[in-house]
Amino acid sequence: MNYASIRTCDIANGEGVRVTLFVSGCTHRCKGCFNPDQWDFNYGEPFTREVEDRILGLLDQSFIAGLSILGGEPMEPANQRALLPFLRRFREKFGDMKTLWVYTGCVLDVSTFNLQPSTFNLEGTTKELLRMIDVLVDGPFVEELKDISLQFRGSSNQRILRLRQ
């Protein structure tokens, strides 16, 4: 997996001051996307163990509320495979002390805990990732529903789902 950027003090993508990881690769290709350069899976830099260590170190600061992951598309199957070991490390180190927000263009079926489109569901991996996420912002960006007054989302079809209370 590649990543496009890391923000070290972000207040736009979740509650509190956050570290934000923008992953590369997205097949949704939403009209009006604010990160179209990140559709390319090869955009940016490789997501290595050293990058993971850097992010975990940034999260160690007491004023940081948690980690947000955007894209691109974090729930692309290739990105899920790369993020799972990192998020296990995140939860092992911080438990429930830091929150995890993930933004996806997929839609979560809350009754089955499956993503739509169904091609984004990986046996075991997807549900394990979803169980680690405190807040999932789901749904594709829809340019016709864009609303700049919405907090933490770009269009009115997107939902803020609290998965862990």
Q: How far is Cα 157 from Cα 159, in angstroms, rounded to an integer?
A: 6
| Across 26-35, 42-51, 95-104, least confident range | 26-35
Residue 46 to residue 29: CA distance in whole angstroms: 22
For residue 36, what pLDDT is reported? 87
The mean pLDDT of 43-71, rounded to a whole number, is 98
| Preceding omega of 77 cis (within 30 degrees of 0) | no
CA dist 135 and 61 (Å) reads 21
The answer to whether residue 165 scores a pLDDT higher than 80 is no
* pLDDT higher at 162 or 33: 162
Q: In this predicted model, what pLDDT tens digit does every residue of 105-119 receive, in sequence order?
A: 999 999 999 999 999
In the chain, domain spans: 2-162
Q: Topology of 2-162 in CATH?
A: TIM Barrel (3.20.20)
Report how far residue 38's alpha carbon sits from residue 136's, in angstroms, rounded to the nearest whole number.
20
Confidence of residue 138 (pLDDT cuts 50, 70, 90): very high
3-state secondary structure of 115: strand
Span 144-162, pLDDT tens digits: 999 999 999 999 999 999 9
In angstroms, rounded to a whole number, what is the distance separating the alpha carbons of residues 32 and 141?
A: 8
What's the pLDDT at 139? Answer: 97
